[in-house]
Structure 1
Amino acid sequence: MASNVHLSKKHLVLKPRQASLLDIFRVPFSKDLESKHFVKSLRVKQAILERKGIIFLSVFLQKIIQFNEKPLSLFGSTFEMLLNLLGNKNNFGVFLSSLLRG
C-alpha cells in the first residue's frame, strides 16, 4: 500500500507546534474552530468540533509534553544507560577497568 493513500476521508488533525498558548486557551470560547490555523479538519461532523473541551485538553497536554521534550529525552537516555549497565553484571568489572584506563 502506498504511503500517500489515506484510509479515511474524514479526519481531524491538531498541530500543537503551530499553536501559541493564547491560541490554545481561546479554543473553548471560539465559535468557529475550523478557522484556527492549528486545526485541520476534512468532512468532520460539527458535533465533533463542538467538543471543544476535549480538543483543548488534547492540544494543551501535547504542548506541555513538547515543552518538556528535551529534559524527558535526557532522563530517558540516562535511565536506559543505567539499566543497561546494571543488566551487564558479568562485565561490570571489565567496564570499570576499561573506564579507568580510558
Structure 2
Amino acid sequence: MTGGIDYLRVALSLGFCLALGVAAIYFIRAKGRLPIKGRTRDMRLLESMAVDTRTSVHVIEYRSCRFLLTSSTGNVHLSPLPSERPLPTNADVAAEQRSLPEP
C-alpha cells in the first residue's frame, strides 16, 4: 500500500494515546498530585471554623509558627499565635503514628 493511509496503524496509535491519557488521569486522581521525592509541605491547616455565613476562622501552621487567619467579606486578617510548647516535626508525627498499635 504505497502512498495510502494505513488505517489500522492510525487506529492503534490513537488507542495507545488514549490509553496513556486515561492512565495519567487515573494516576493523578489516585495520588491527589504528582509525587515529589524529598519534599514535605511547610503549611498545614490545623483547624477551621465558620463563625457565620460570611466569616470564618482558621488556625494555620507554617513551619514551626502558628497563625490565626480570619476572613470575612472583603477582609482578611492574619495574626501570629503564641506557642506554648515546641511543635512536633513531620518526622515526630510519623514516628508516633508508627508506634501506635493497630486496631
TM above 0.5, yes or no, is: no
Q: Which has the larger radius of gyration?
A: 2
Q: Which has the higher strand share?
A: 2
Q: Which has the higher helix share?
A: 1
Higher RCO (CA-CA < 8 Å; seq separation 6+) = 1
